């Protein structure tokens, strides 16, 4: 007998929407998130000042999200500062164990048992290496958003924002708003990729136009086909080399720009290791990212495991929320159908993920019989089309490799320079894993979250779904005290 | 046409190729994956004499230990002659450890104050035995750099990655090459260094080799600023586990630091086929045993875990030498949990066989025909 019907990992738009939908349908729900606040990548990091500003209109979603969070807290158990390091499937269907560690100094192991599992773990930044990217003052777009929390830190800084796609725009607008001097915003791809697509959702266009307006108001130049190809400074950032790029991102001309802060964003990597642990079948998104394969109701290939938001493909906060709601509906419907739970007696056997199947028997062939409201499915289709259009318009082009010098660090945790990666390949490494075994990129603290994409590209393969049996660091003391009994 | 085709670019295949090239033979190495992508990339790099029962495996280990020291002059693969420390919980176990050390006839010191050797060891242990010859290498680098050294020094070595052997070619009862996904490769002799998959290669050639996987998990900690563990440290239970015939789960703490600052914690042994599913109970037991040995590890974080499949034979001895059932087919596989340590001796002896010399050690105990 499980303590909960549904355990949700992740408290961003997807996880909160999924948990709330399921709880409103009568399920007993627990939501776990590593952070001290709900909100995920997008909402948690919005500075308080956003509320009172005109930009707040752009984030009308925030009010909705806060309402959802409040409702969720009254209907479900919300376990914050719980870092999930492993999920296990006991026996057969409907018996999952989520292993987390709670607290910071006084870390303690926590175990949550549930009949179903929703993986809504979001994504993390996808930086590209370039000379000097390890200098203090160089941040990822996500890191810059975190900085925004304290206006004091930001005000007066000279900032360059570089990358591709729309996500660096709100960062630039936020920085300008908070009093930073945003010197320029650089888009490595062409200027019009986004606007040309017919699937462009009106609301999204409005949003993008809004940021563009905000940037114009602060007189921030927006330059296409340009990127920061090197950062310089003695101990901290003082200036950057900006390259004018050809279509493949090879540098055709350079100039120097003075700045003390650089925010770079080249997309996101979905966090899928918990799905890999559970044995879910994986695929690749248009941008090359490994993603969890799901059916029309967000079911993964493992019965009882659902995925929503960025783990199924990067697509923004609105799509994440819609997917979360669909997953919540589906989980409630699936758990209610007696067949599902009676199918297998409570298991005692060791857990064993399913073989990646062709088409799993429990996947819905079409939208019929999903128990998911039709309008939600239509919104998802529209938002997904938009996400795919973004991937097509703002790809990462191979020319970035030419920005590297032999000494450019590829892996910052283990301080692995580009030349070591090349030496590994010369020694007979043919993929990211063997490069890692020979040269150590990805073996350090972040376990390849930062460098994994770049190393895979350099090794000439698509990034593979990460196998991380320990998804979050855990002290040996907690590991020793971990139990299978729900606390 | 090559003199020798080596199947497998793990530690054992690399050593075979290195010594064969050094002996003047023309060598082609094929691997279906990258270099060191098999079990060599999924284990640890201990080069041990301390855990071997007296007999043919210890003789092989002692020869290999000396050869590793020589090879460390040839190529850089983080060779560390750090020494091993076997600890005993009780005086009775300590007495048995000392008895074993005496029978081994290997250089060793009896240790009563363990803290002199390992300041962070738990109090209350009875004592231990220190083996100065035990060493550590980075196995993946060792395999890769040995192949490179052979290529550079002897010039007669080709490495072909991403090439899968699908059959063994024979003509009038003799091996003449291999069939691969990239076409046939002809050679005077074929060396089966396919590790845990050595049985599959043998079957392609129509002979049986009873090599099976024995799964092992390793826990890896965050890098530590100050080294906490100086030697390879393990408990006496390890020796009995290594030699055990049980199919069930066995764990015994084996703890060591690496040049990167991380601490590696092994080692479990289970026979569960090629099942990669992570077993949390195994990880928990490894953590508990490591903390029992080094209480300071309690607050150190594990950041990674991985598993590999040791290639084992029923008698726990490797298979080394020409197959009496099929001339030209040579085996160098089945080294179980000691394939890194035993790789150079295996390569050296096999190169002697390939060159028609008398091997330095009697290969009878490792004879491929011994199972039939
Ligand atoms: C700089 C930047 C700008 C952006 N701008 C926009 C924009 O303008 N418009 C837009 O629509 N989108 C924007 N996004 C994207 C938006 O943030 C994401 O699409 C959205 O947050 C995805 O929601 P999610 O629920 O899938 O994941 P997330 O919001 O990332 O939530 C995942 C949650 O899971 C938790 N978690 C992950 N792993 C674990 C674990 N092992 N244990 C416990 N908890 C875990 C995390 O702590 C996190 O709270 C931006 C993102 C960034 C970084
Ligand atoms: C957890 C663990 C810890 C260990 N610790 C130690 C230790 O501390 N010290 C020690 O000495 N040993 C240790 N071992 C054992 C050691 O790792 C192995 O004995 C050793 O790696 C075997 O090396 P190998 O070259 O024979 O096999 P492998 O490294 O597996 O190489 C065999 C190669 O053959 C290739 N191959 C297979 N089939 C084909 C085919 N059909 N065509 C082409 N290529 C093929 C594979 O791709 C592979 O690369 C440990 C093992 C494990 C699992």
CATH classification at residue A432:
1.10.10
List pocket residues of ligand 2, CB cut-off 6 Å: B 7-13, 30-33, 37-40, 42-46, 164-165, 193-197, 216, 218, 266-267, 308-311, 333, 335-341
Which residue among A338, A369, A391 closes a domain? A391
Cα–ligand 2 centroid distance for B340 (angstroms): 8
Nearest to B147 by CA among B311, B317, B19: B19
Question: Which B-chain residues 274-303 have CB contacts (< 8 A) with chain A?
Answer: 275, 277-280, 283-284, 287-288, 290-291, 297-303
Cβ neighbours around A91 below 10 Å, total: 15
Q: Does position B335 have pLDDT exceeding 70, yes or no?
A: yes
Q: What is the pLDDT of residues B268-312, one digit of tens each?
A: 888 889 988 888 999 999 999 999 999 999 999 999 999 999 999
> Which is the closest atom of ligand 2 to the Cα of B335?
19
H or E segment and range at residue A282: strand A282-284
Q: What is the mean pLDDT of residues B318-339?
A: 97
% of residues, chain B, pLDDT over 70: 97
Q: What is the pLDDT of residues A181-191, one digit of tens each?
A: 999 999 999 87
Asked if B68 and B137 count as a contact pair (C-beta separation under 8 A), the reply is yes
Q: Does position A206 have pLDDT exceeding 70, yes or no?
A: no
Cα–ligand 1 centroid distance for A97 (angstroms): 24
Residues A448 and A344 both lie in one domain = no
Cα–ligand 1 centroid distance for A40 (angstroms): 4
Q: Label the pairing between strands B127-131 and A4-9.
A: unpaired
Please report the pLDDT score of residue A204 as a whole number: 54
Residues A404 and A346 both lie in one domain = no
Nearest to A439 by CA among A470, A426, A133: A426
- Provide the H-helix boundaries in A297-373: 317-336, 338-342
pLDDT band at A364 (very low <50, low <70, confident <90, very high): low
Which residue among A364, A391, A418 closes a domain? A391
Alpha-carbon gap: B233 to the closest alpha carbon of chain A (Å): 17
Cβ neighbours around B173 below 10 Å, total: 9
Is the CB of A352 less than 8 angstroms away from the CB of B288? no
User: CB-side exposure of A367: number of CA atoms within 13 Å?
Assistant: 10
How much is the CA Rg of chain B, to the nearest whole Å? 20
Residues A341 and A216 both lie in one domain = no
Asked if B107 and B131 count as a contact pair (C-beta separation under 8 A), the reply is yes
Nearest to B67 by CA among B337, B361, B293, B328: B361
Distance CA B187, CA B30 (A): 12
Residues A354 and A409 both lie in one domain = no
**For the CA of B5, the nearest ligand:** 2
Q: What is the mean pLDDT of residues A385-411?
A: 95
The DSSP output letter for A24 is: H
Distance CA A480, CA B301 (A): 12
Place of tokens 């028997």: A361
End-to-end alpha carbon distance in chain B: 32
Q: What is the pLDDT of residues A75-120, one digit of tens each?
A: 999 999 999 999 998 866 678 999 999 987 789 999 999 999 999 9
Cα–ligand 1 centroid distance for A357 (angstroms): 29
Residues A136 and A73 both lie in one domain = no
Question: Which two tokens mark A58?
Answer: 């752009």
Cα–ligand 2 centroid distance for B70 (angstroms): 22
Q: Does position B41 have pLDDT exceeding 60, yes or no?
A: yes
Nearest to B108 by CA among B128, B124, B137: B128
Q: What is the mean pLDDT of residues B109-135?
A: 94
Q: Does position A45 have pLDDT exceeding 70, yes or no?
A: no
Distance CA B181, CA A410 (A): 33
- Residue-range definition of the domain harbouring residue A298: 4-124+269-391
Residues A383 and A461 both lie in one domain = no
Q: How many domains does chain A have?
A: 3
Q: Is the dihedral of CA B18, B24, B29, B34 positive or negative?
A: positive
Residues A164 and A70 both lie in one domain = no
Number of H helices, E strands in chain B: 9, 18
Residues A324 and A412 both lie in one domain = no
**For the CA of B286, the nearest ligand:** 2
Distance CA B304, CA A437 (A): 14
Residues of chain A contacting B159 with CB distance shorter than 8 Å: 428
Residues A136 and A163 both lie in one domain = yes
Please report the pLDDT score of residue B140 as a whole number: 97
Residues A135 and A237 both lie in one domain = yes
- Which CATH number characterizes residue A358's domain? 3.50.50.60
Question: Which two tokens mark A164?
Answer: 């591709």
Q: What is the pLDDT of residues B172-208, one digit of tens each?
A: 999 999 999 999 999 999 999 999 999 999 999 999 9
Q: ipTM of the assembly?
A: 0.93
Peptide bond into B267 cis (omega under 30): yes
Give the chain B residue whose CA is nearest to the CA of A470: B304
Q: Is the dihedral of CA A263, A267, A269, A270 positive or negative?
A: positive
- List, in sequence order, every residue forming a beta bridge with B27; answer none if it has no partner: B4, B157
Q: What is the pLDDT of residues A408-431, one digit of tens each?
A: 999 999 999 999 999 999 999 999
Q: What is the pLDDT of residues B63-72, one digit of tens each?
A: 999 999 999 9
> Which is the closest atom of ligand 2 to the Cα of B340?
11
User: Which candidate from A279, A429, A475 shows the least CB-CB separation from B300?
Assistant: A475
> Which is the closest atom of ligand 1 to the Cα of A323?
26
Average pLDDT, chain A: 86
CB of A15 closer than 6 angstroms to any ligand 1 atom: yes
Residues A451 and A477 both lie in one domain = yes
Residues A115 and A40 both lie in one domain = yes
Q: Does position A353 have pLDDT exceeding 50, yes or no?
A: no
Distance CA A329, CA A323 (A): 10
Q: What is the pLDDT of residues A13-43, one digit of tens each?
A: 999 999 999 999 999 999 999 999 899 887 7
Residues 6 or more apart from A206 whose CB is under 8 A from it?
none
B24 to B18, B35, B44, B151, B327: CA distances (angstroms): 10, 22, 31, 12, 21
Please report the pLDDT score of residue B241 as a whole number: 63
Q: What are phi and psi of A252, to 5 degrees?
A: -105, -20
User: CB-side exposure of B299: number of CA atoms within 13 Å?
Assistant: 5
pLDDT band at A357 (very low <50, low <70, confident <90, very high): very low
Residue nearest to ligand 1 atom 6, measured at CA: A167
Distance CA B163, CA B161 (A): 5
Residue nearest to ligand 2 atom 51, measured at CA: B43
Q: What is the mean pLDDT of residues A367-383?
A: 82
Asked if A226 and A242 count as a contact pair (C-beta separation under 8 A), the reply is yes
Residues 6 or more apart from A38 whose CB is under 8 A from it?
A11, A12, A16, A44, A69, A72, A78, A80
Q: Does position A151 have pLDDT exceeding 60, yes or no?
A: no
Which residue among A212, A245, A266 closes a domain? A266
Q: Is the dihedral of CA B268, B270, B276, B277 positive or negative?
A: negative
Please report the pLDDT score of residue A258 as a whole number: 97
């Amino acid at each position: 007998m499980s303590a909960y019907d549904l355990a949700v990992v992740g408290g961003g738009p997807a996880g909160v929407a999924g948990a709330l939908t399921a709880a409103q349908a009568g399920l007993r729900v627990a939501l776990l998130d590593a952070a001290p606040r709900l909100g995920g990548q997008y909402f948690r990091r919005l500075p308080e000042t956003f509320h009172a500003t005109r930009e707040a209109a752009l984030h009308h979603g925030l009010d909705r999200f806060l309402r959802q969070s409040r409702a969720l807290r009254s209907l479900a158990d919300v376990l914050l500062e719980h870092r999930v390091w492993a999920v296990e499937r006991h026996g057969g269907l409907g018996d999952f164990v989520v292993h987390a560690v709670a607290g910071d100094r006084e870390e303690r192991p926590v175990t949550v048992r549930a009949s179903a599992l929703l993986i809504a773990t979001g994504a993390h930044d996808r930086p590209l290496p370039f000379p000097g990217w390890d200098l203090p003052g160089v941040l990822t777009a996500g890191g810059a958003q975190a900085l925004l929390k304290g206006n004091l830190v930001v005000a007066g800084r000279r900032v360059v924002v570089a990358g591709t796609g729309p996500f660096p725009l709100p960062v630039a607008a936020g920085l300008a708003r908070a009093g930073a001097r945003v010197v320029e915003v650089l888009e490595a791809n062409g200027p019009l990729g986004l606007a040309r697509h017919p699937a462009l959702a009106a609301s999204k266009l409005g949003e993008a136009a809004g940021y563009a307006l905000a940037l114009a108001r602060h007189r921030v130049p927006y330059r296409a086909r340009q990127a920061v190809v090197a950062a310089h400074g003695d101990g901290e950032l003082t200036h950057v080399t900006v390259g004018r790029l050809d279509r493949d991102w090879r540098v055709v001309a350079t100039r120097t720009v003075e700045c003390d802060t650089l925010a770079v964003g080249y997309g996101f990597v979905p966090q899928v290791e918990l799905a890999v642990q559970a044995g879910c079948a994986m695929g690749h998104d248009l941008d090359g990212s490994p993603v969890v394969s799901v059916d029309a109701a967000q079911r993964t290939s493992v019965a009882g495991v659902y995925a929503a938001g960025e783990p199924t493909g990067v697509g923004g906060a609105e799509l994440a929320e819609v997917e979360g709601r669909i997953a919540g509906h589906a989980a409630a419907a699936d758990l209610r159908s007696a067949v599902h739970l009676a199918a297998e007696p409570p298991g005692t056997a060791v857990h064993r993920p399913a073989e990646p199947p062709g088409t799993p028997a429990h996947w819905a062939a079409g939208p019929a019989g999903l128990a998911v409201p039709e309008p939600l499915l239509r919104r998802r289709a529209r938002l997904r089309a938009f996400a795919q259009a973004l991937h097509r318009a703002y790809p990462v082009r191979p020319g970035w490799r030419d920005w590297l010098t032999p000494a450019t660090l590829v892996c910052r945790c283990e301080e692995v320079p580009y030349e070591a990666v090349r030496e590994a390949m010369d020694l007979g490494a043919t993929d990211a894993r063997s490069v890692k075994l020979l040269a150590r990129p990805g073996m350090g603290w972040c376990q390849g979250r930062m460098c994994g994409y770049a190393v895979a590209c350099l090794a000439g393969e698509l990034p593979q779904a990460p196998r991380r049996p320990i998804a979050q660091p855990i002290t040996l003391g907690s590991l020793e005290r971990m139990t299978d009994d729900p606390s | 046409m090559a003199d020798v085709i080596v199947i497998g670019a793990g530690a054992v295949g690399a050593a075979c190729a290195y010594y064969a090239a050094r002996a003047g033979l023309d060598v082609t190495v094929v691997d279906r994956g990258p270099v060191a992508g098999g079990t060599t990339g999924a284990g640890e790099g201990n080069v041990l004499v301390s855990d071997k029962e007296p007999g043919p495996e210890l003789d092989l280990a002692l020869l290999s230990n000396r050869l590793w020291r020589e090879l460390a002059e040839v190529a850089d693969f983080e060779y560390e002659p750090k020494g091993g420390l076997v600890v005993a919980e009780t005086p009775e176990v300590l007495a048995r450890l000392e008895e074993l050390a005496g029978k081994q006839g290997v250089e060793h010191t009896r240790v009563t104050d363990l803290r002199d050797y390992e300041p962070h060891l738990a109090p209350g242990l009875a004592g231990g035995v220190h083996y100065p010859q035990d060493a550590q290498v980075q196995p993946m680098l060792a395999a890769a750099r040995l192949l490179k050294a052979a290529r550079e020094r002897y010039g007669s070595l080709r490495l072909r990655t991403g090439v899968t052997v699908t059959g063994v070619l024979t003509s009038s009862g003799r091996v003449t090459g291999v069939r691969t996904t990239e076409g046939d490769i002809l050679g005077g002799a074929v060396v089966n260094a396919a590790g845990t998959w050595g049985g599959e290669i043998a079957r392609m050639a129509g002979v049986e080799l009873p090599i099976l996987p024995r799964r092992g998990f390793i826990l890896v900690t965050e890098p530590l600023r100050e080294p906490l563990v100086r030697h390879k440290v393990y408990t006496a239970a390890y020796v009995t586990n290594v030699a055990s015939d049980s199919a069930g789960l066995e764990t015994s703490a084996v703890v060591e630091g690496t040049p990167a600052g991380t601490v590696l914690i092994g080692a479990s042994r289970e026979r569960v086929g090629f099942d990669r599913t992570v077993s949390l109970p195994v990880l928990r037991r490894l953590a508990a045993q490591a903390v029992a040995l080094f209480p300071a590890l309690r607050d150190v974080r594990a950041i990674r875990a991985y598993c590999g499949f040791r290639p084992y034979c029923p008698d726990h001895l490797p298979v080394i030498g020409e197959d009496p059932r099929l001339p030209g087919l040579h085996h160098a596989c089945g080294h179980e949990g000691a394939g890194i340590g035993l790789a150079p001796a295996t390569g050296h002896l096999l190169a002697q066989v390939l060159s028609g010399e008398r091997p330095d050690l009697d290969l009878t105990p490792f004879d491929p025909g011994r199972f039939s």
